[in-house]
Amino acid sequence: MNWTLLIPIIANYGLPLAEKLFTKWSSGSPPTQTDFDELRAAAQQTATDRMKAALSAAGIPLDDPRAAKLIALAV
């Protein structure tokens, strides 16, 4: 996999999905249904989903007013 393939994926779906795809590609093993399911789920995540996950991982309640402001920005 080269930059010519990765750049459109990064631009359209974001770096986290492109990194997952690159890692799977680099492993050399044939893709499985589980691989496709994971990639599909990652591609369907919105910026809001990722922001909520990051806030939760940091231990910040989603009903905190500051969290609500950050979630609103992730559109």
Contact 43, 21 (CB under 8 A): no
Indicate whether this model's pTM tops 0.85: no
Domain boundaries, the chain: 1-31, 45-75
Alpha carbons 1 and 20: distance in angstroms, whole number = 12
Alpha carbons 9 and 6: distance in angstroms, whole number = 5
Please write down the HEC assignment for all residues of the chain: CCHHHHHHHHHHHCHHHHHHHHHHHHHCCCCCHHHHHHHHHHHHCCHHHHHHHHHHHCCCCCCCHHHHHHHHHCC
Q: pLDDT value at position 40?
A: 87
pLDDT digits (tens, 9 = 90+) for 13-35: 888 888 888 998 899 889 889 98
Q: How confident is the model at residue 10 (pLDDT cuts 50, 70, 90)?
A: confident
